[in-house]
Amino acid sequence: MENRVDEFKTLVGHLQPGVARSLRAIDGLLGADRFRSLVAPVYLRRNQTDVLEELLPRIETDAWVEFTFEDLAAYRAAVASGNFMAMRRAAYVSGTPKGLAKLSRLAEIVEEAMSNGRKVVVFSFFRDVLATVASVLDNVVTGPITGSVNPTLRQRIIDEFSEQARPGVLVSQIEAGGVGLNLQAASVVILTEPQWKSTTEDQAIARCHRMGQARPVAVHRLLAQDSVDERMLEVLGRKGALFDEYVRRSAIAQASADTIDVSTLPIVEGVAAQAELERRIIEMERKRLGLDDRQGGSERAVT
């Protein structure tokens, strides 16, 4: 369940049309107990840890950094232009670790991991961010895996990365390499920026944190203070709270003493569309940075 009740209803319709017909969009607004009761016949959740007891730990770290002068200049320019995507990747724009806090921290994490004989996967939404990372790390990088790389070549890239004896780094777009691939040769994951859905990150991490993984998996989220990263995490926190309330538990699991507990699946999106959320964040950042309309121009692209 990633988005709205209507989308969930479509999926339920394939299983039990009668239950689907009983679901209305307003049911998502009438309280968590009512919603869980309505979907109980077709909704059962199980935790990954309940069914994979041998799975090694997943250790997550939020690596907060402060913008450098170069970072802040690029970020202010992106906010002034109203370009949300440019705001998200401003921390990588100049492409040299010396001037960029996130890139410098990424290089440190990679160096430490490789000195301990560990392989690393770097995920980003943006191809140009991956290109910057690859240029900085140079000859230790395999990839990139992007949306334009066909499945056969993707597997060839992964095989090369997995079979090499030395430590290394695989770079991948999060929505291309984060689903349906086995990357358990790597035990360190770096996320270069927050994603709009926590499930996107979880699925990407699960490429490494899965059966066959021989080490605990270290996950590093690179986050910039006083930036769009903080705003996005605030939104994700609210979504997570809604998800916990509505679908973290299933009524059928609670009703049976010998049913395994529910698991973590995709979060419920808020009522506002993503584009509206982006617009609001841009406005918040413009106000915080003191950028008025005359500085920012008339156009405000959010994609």
Tell me, rounded to whole angstroms, the distance of Cα 119 from its chain centroid.
Answer: 20
230 pLDDT more than 50 = yes
Inter-CA distances, 214 with 19, 169, 175, 187, 283, Å: 43, 17, 25, 8, 46
d(CA 16, CA 40): 11
Q: What is the mean pLDDT of residues 247-267?
A: 39
* The pLDDT of residue 39: 77
- Contacts (Cβ under 8 Å, ≥6 apart) of 29: none
Nearest residue to 3 via CA among 24, 40, 28, 38: 28
d(CA 246, CA 267): 10
d(CA 43, CA 203): 20
CA 113, 116, 121, 122: dihedral to nearest 10 degrees? 10
Give 118 or 11, the one with higher predicted confidence.
Answer: 118
* The pLDDT of residue 51: 67
DSSP one-letter code for 262: P
- Contacts (Cβ under 8 Å, ≥6 apart) of 195: 125, 174, 201
Residue-wise pLDDT tens digits, 110-152 = 999 999 999 999 999 999 999 999 999 988 999 999 999 998 9
257 band by pLDDT with thresholds 50, 70 and 90: very low
Nearest residue to 130 via CA among 114, 119, 146: 146
Cβ distance 197 to 266 under 8 Å? yes
Omega before 144 cis (within 30°)? yes
Instruction: Give, for 110, the enclosing helix (H) or strand (E).
Output: helix 101-115
Residue-wise pLDDT tens digits, 58-111 = 999 999 999 999 999 999 999 999 999 999 999 998 767 777 899 999 999 999
DSSP one-letter code for 25: G
d(CA 166, CA 269): 41
Task: Give strand pairing partners of 173.
Answer: 124
Q: What is the mean pLDDT of residues 225-235?
A: 91
240 band by pLDDT with thresholds 50, 70 and 90: low
* The pLDDT of residue 241: 56
- CA-based angle 276:12:39, to the nearest 5? 90
Cβ distance 218 to 187 under 8 Å? yes
* The pLDDT of residue 261: 31
pLDDT over 90 percentage in the chain = 50
Domain ranges across the chain: 52-62+98-229
Cβ distance 123 to 174 under 8 Å? yes
d(CA 173, CA 130): 8
- Contacts (Cβ under 8 Å, ≥6 apart) of 37: 251
* The pLDDT of residue 177: 72
* The pLDDT of residue 146: 93
Per-residue DSSP letters for 189-240? EEESS--S-HHHHHHHHTTTSSTT--SPEEEEEEEESSSHHHHHHHHHHHHH
Instruction: Tell which CATH classification among 3.40.50.300, 3.90.1010.10, 3.40.50.620, 3.40.190.10 matches the domain 52-62+98-229.
Output: 3.40.50.300
Tell me the average pLDDT of the chain.
Answer: 81
Structure tokens of 177? 């390499």
197 pLDDT more than 80 = yes
Number of Cα atoms under 13 Å in the Cβ half of residue 255: 10
